[in-house]
Structure 1
Amino acid sequence: MNSDRLTATDNASALARDGRFLDVLRQRIAVPTESQNADRLPDLYRYLADQIAPALQALDFECRIIDNPVEGGGPFLIAHRIEDPSLPTVLGYGHGDVVRGIPEQWREGLDPWTVTVEGERWYGRGAADNKGQHAIWIAALETTLKSRGKLGFNAKFVIETSEEIGSVGLDVLLETEAEALSCDVLLASDGPRLVRDKVDIKLGNRGAFAFDLRVKLREGSRHSGHWGGVLEDPGLILAHALASITTPRGRILVEDWLPKSVPPKVTAALKGINVDPSDPTLIMPDDWGEAGLSRAEKMYGWTSFIVLAYVTGAPEKPINGVQPDASASCQIRYTADVDETQFIPALRTHLDAHGFQQVEIVDLSKNRFPAWRTDPDNPWVDRVMTSVEKTIGYAPTLMPNSSGGLPSEIFARHLGCPVIWIPHSYGGCKQHGPDEHLLQPIVEQGLAIMTGLFWDIGADATGAQT
């Protein structure tokens, strides 16, 4: 490895050991950017204006903060540093918003808005999702610039503050700002690694499709003693409707929700993959879900159906009454091998065929990430894989997509660029729940990986020694 490149990656790794990266993370975690809480809108602006813009301006980026074009969405920051229009352009992405802090659920001694260090764990809401990860991106860019005096490529960055509510407004922003964000490749970090101690690279994401099911039969409840067993119970009707969607062991029975075929390259990539949840409390029975598939194939190459919430009556204060209505919030996760436009029609046909005409389907189209997969044969994939291997000394795992939702398709559709994700977290990070944390060893490695990648992109573009 070239000594200058090695020095740069070593300098980047040192940021995670000497406290400098931790100091930055403390400042960013302290801003409570809960996008699910409308009262936090000023904090979303403050995060971009006080945290991200100054960090990028110090690297000679020009920055703009843009109001969300969709009501209820948080602001965006767009930044760019153009060294030479003839050089390749790399676009970075991150989201500054977080899910609710739920401080009452965190372990004693921990607070979502204060970084607490316990051994290799750095606790705080957004540490893993996504403040820590886009902080790695910026720090690696800074280290490359300081080490070389230039990047050797053009860099752009967009950060949104509504990812946790479905990336509200991002589609519109990319349509209106497509020229400003034009690039050769999107390189970003979000989500967990497949295995804690093994680097992986993901080429997209499974889609997230949300809908509600509702049964409303009357106004108000009726005395259960007088009317129970005579009046239809919406809770029971909806429960049976939900049960018809899968087998008792979770295998989906709505055929048009499932892939008709899976590309051989995807099957090959998932073969032999070991899913490590890094959490001994998570039990994954082999007989749950689609029969004959491995855990990796179920998570990364197939469709899943989840009931997020189910309500009839008032669970906190039940009364002796036949309830008037029931509702369930549902979600489908799916790959690029499935046609999402068939989800609602197929479900309607399925429910009607099983006698559930009373069940209403509410399409929640705003809360959706379409599925996307970058072609594994795209030259940028090989460039990234080669660079990362040079840094870590072994070939990273190439994953066709992540299991969770990301805005890959939105970027690919508007910008026409390959989308590549390099996650710097792990399955046990507890993102979206209490005690979210980032691991110091993964931060240290992530800083070296991204610095090496930026170094190699610049070297390839300018013909410098690598």
Structure 2
Amino acid sequence: MMSQVATSYIKENRQEYINELIEFLRIPSISSISDHKGDVRDAANWTVEALKTAGMQKAEIMETPGHPVVYGEWTSADNDHTVLIYGHYDVQPVDPVELWDSPPFEPIVHEEKLFARGASDDKGQTFMHVKAVQALLATKGSLPFNVKFLIEGEEEIGSPSLDEFVQSNEQLLSADVLLISDTPMLGKGRPAVCKGLRGMCSLQIDVKGAKGDLHSGLYGGAVQNSVHALVQLLDTLRDEDGRIQVKGFYDDVIEPTEEERASYAQLGDFESELKEELHLNELFGEKGYTAREHTWVRPTLEINGIYGGFQGEGVKTVIPSEAHAKITCRLVPGQDPDVIIQQIEEHLQSHTPPGVTLTTTRYDQGKPFLAPTDHPAFKTATDAYEAVYGTPAVFTRMGGSIPVVETFDQVLNIPILLMGFGLPSENFHAPNEHFHLENFDKGMETLIYFWETLQFEK
């Protein structure tokens, strides 16, 4: 039974919690931009103080080769059981800033939605755990088990420092269950426990032609245009139905079972929902799979950006010397990002048009993850959602990536619960990111119910 005293405490302090979250969201902790390095550290320091305020017996910054990790713990439970909570305090860049209705780091509440970069991904969801713990400690003086926090500052750049950190601190991070809130629910009022994440890999493509931009009248027709060459090269990566043409790309894909596919078919008309949400007349995707399967269980290769040549107002008659593109792939169980990135680079080299040279630079990588759901904690999670939201929770996968989850799985070897409270429509990674405060409130109540009813395997 959920603690009414703790939930009453949350309701009484709701506005204070929101004000604190707004303060957190004002920090522009963009991990991918070096000019924000100081802001990222400010966010880490803010997180340490928030954990101390919540009642953690220990809260500190732990250095990595990149941005710092925040670690906190409360270890005075009358049993040996421990839950580890993971989240991240870094955020995505805000571009294109002109598409925001309000400044991304000046949070506002409108129609019970909190608008700011990081509101849903992941400051808001991580902050819920901190304040739910605070509510339990403030009203009961203790927790039903030991709690550890690991909150990092590099998730949005692929967690490059965290694999080594987890491996080096295996004992410090030892726990019975790992709990993460960085995934979406199925929809408004439709809670979900995510059991699978896609992995990812990314690279930049740089095409170089002549020594510099050329006059299109003097040289046009005699030399290769780098932008044309890049477009031609990129067009070889997928066919007209979206199937990726890189040799070996699908070789190791583990297909979902027919039972799993049937369960997804029962979750509603996702195609119609998606077209309405995105204002599209039709969707696009690999033949033989539904839109939900496209976003959950199939791999992708996407061009995230392409640039080169003259970008200013009007016309400049040049043949561009350089052209560039950024690519990411979402990967599914069975695929190894190192193997996939090598296959893509080999494809690009073998299909480079004449008259240009090609170089590639690798960036973020993360392995896919698929969790077994037979541990008692998964049943506790679905029960907790149902108790608060009044509707049964379902098991889903998520098309996005949390790179370190697979590392947690391999190193800590504990059940990993992905209990998200965001909504797919909340524009994380896009302008006007926001978090529904209804789920901020219900999320804390759900977490309290989960913690107070969690049973551990004997």
Q: Please, what TM-score do these two structures have when normalized by structure 1? A: 0.87
What is the rounded CA distance, in whole Å, between the counterparts of 2:382 and 2:183 in structure 1?
18
SS in 1 for 2:36: helix
- What's the offset of the Cα at 1:281? 3.6
Instruction: Sort the Cα spacing of 1:261 and 1:210 in 2 relative to 1 into closer, same or farther, 3 A.
Output: same
Aligned to 1:404: 400
- What's the offset of the Cα at 1:137? 0.9
What is the rounded CA distance, in whole Å, between the counterparts of 1:197 and 1:456 in structure 2?
22
- What's the offset of the Cα at 1:153? 0.9
Instruction: Sort the Cα spacing of 1:347 and 1:432 in 2 relative to 1 into closer, same or farther, 3 A.
Output: closer
What is the rounded CA distance, in whole Å, between the counterparts of 1:397 and 1:160 in structure 2?
28
Runs of 5+ consecutive residues of structure 1 not aligned to the other structure: none
What is the rounded CA distance, in whole Å, between the counterparts of 2:309 and 2:289 in structure 1?
38
What is the rounded CA distance, in whole Å, between the counterparts of 2:338 and 2:457 in structure 1?
45
What is the rounded CA distance, in whole Å, between the counterparts of 2:122 and 2:88 in structure 1?
6
Equivalent residues, number: 450
- What's the offset of the Cα at 1:140? 1.4
AA paired with 2:83? V
- 1:350-393 CA-to-partner distances (Å, cap 9, x unmatched) read 456656586636251x4122211112334432332233333333
- What's the offset of the Cα at 1:228? 1.5
Aligned to 1:262: 255
AA paired with 1:159? I
Aligned to 1:64: 60
Q: Which moved more, 1:90-99 or 1:260-269?
A: 260-269
SS in 2 for 1:174: helix
- 1:28-64 CA-to-partner distances (Å, cap 9, x unmatched) read 1122222233233233222232344343354133112
Aligned to 1:337: 334
Instruction: Sort the Cα spacing of 1:363 and 1:266 in 2 relative to 1 into closer, same or farther, 3 A.
Output: farther
Instruction: Sort the Cα spacing of 1:277 and 1:285 in 2 relative to 1 into closer, same or farther, 3 A.
Output: closer
SS in 2 for 1:332: strand
Equivalences for 1:184-195 in 2 at 5 Å?
Answer: 184-195=176-187
Aligned-pair RMSD on alpha carbons? 2.8
Q: Tell whether 2:295 aligns with 1:299.
A: yes
AA paired with 1:304? T
Q: Could you tell me which of 263, 267, 271 is aligned with 1:273?
A: 267
What is the rounded CA distance, in whole Å, between the counterparts of 1:119 and 1:99 in structure 2?
24
- What's the offset of the Cα at 1:84? 4.7
AA paired with 1:152? P
Percent of residue pairs bearing the same amino acid type: 23
Aligned to 2:374: 377
AA paired with 1:39? D
Q: Which moved more, 1:307-316 or 1:182-191?
A: 307-316
- 1:413-448 CA-to-partner distances (Å, cap 9, x unmatched) read 222222221111112212222222111111121111
- What's the offset of the Cα at 1:133? 0.6
Instruction: Sort the Cα spacing of 1:24 and 1:292 in 2 relative to 1 into closer, same or farther, 3 A.
Output: same
- 1:282-334 CA-to-partner distances (Å, cap 9, x unmatched) read 42734x12112111100000011110111222323763222223221111011
- What's the offset of the Cα at 1:10? 3.6
Aligned to 1:324: 321
Instruction: Sort the Cα spacing of 1:296 and 1:93 in 2 relative to 1 into closer, same or farther, 3 A.
Output: same
What is the rounded CA distance, in whole Å, between the counterparts of 1:435 and 1:367 in structure 2?
24
SS in 2 for 1:244: coil
Contact 2:302 2:327 in 1 (8 A): yes
- 1:147-197 CA-to-partner distances (Å, cap 9, x unmatched) read 443212110001111222222311121122221111112101113323122
Q: Which moved more, 1:32-41 or 1:95-104?
A: 95-104
Equivalences for 1:30-69 in 2 at 5 Å?
Answer: 30-56=26-52, 58-69=54-65
Q: Which moved more, 1:355-364 or 1:185-194?
A: 355-364
Contact 2:207 2:359 in 1 (8 A): no
What is the rounded CA distance, in whole Å, between the counterparts of 1:84 and 1:220 in structure 2?
67
AA paired with 1:299? T
SS in 2 for 1:19: helix
Instruction: Sort the Cα spacing of 1:449 and 1:295 in 2 relative to 1 into closer, same or farther, 3 A.
Output: same
Contact 2:303 2:327 in 1 (8 A): yes
What is the rounded CA distance, in whole Å, between the counterparts of 2:72 and 2:374 in structure 1?
29
What is the rounded CA distance, in whole Å, between the counterparts of 2:456 and 2:178 in structure 1?
16
Q: Could you tell me which of 207, 224, 240 is aligned with 2:216?
A: 224
SS in 2 for 1:203: strand
Aligned to 1:360: 358
Equivalences for 1:22-421 in 2 at 5 Å?
Answer: 22-56=18-52, 58-69=54-65, 73-84=66-77, 86-101=79-94, 104-105=97-98, 107=100, 110-254=102-246, 256-258=248-250, 260-264=253-257, 266-274=260-268, 275=270, 276=273, 280-283=277-280, 285-286=282-283, 288-316=284-312, 319-348=316-345, 350-351=347-348, 356=353, 360=358, 362-364=360-362, 366-399=363-396, 401-406=397-402, 407-421=404-418
Q: Which moved more, 1:203-212 or 1:342-351?
A: 342-351
Aligned to 1:431: 428
Contact 1:220 1:324 in 2 (8 A): yes
- 1:1-25 CA-to-partner distances (Å, cap 9, x unmatched) read x3xx251564266268x41321221
AA paired with 1:423? G
SS in 1 for 2:450: helix
Instruction: Sort the Cα spacing of 1:192 and 1:58 in 2 relative to 1 into closer, same or farther, 3 A.
Output: closer
Contact 2:185 2:191 in 1 (8 A): yes
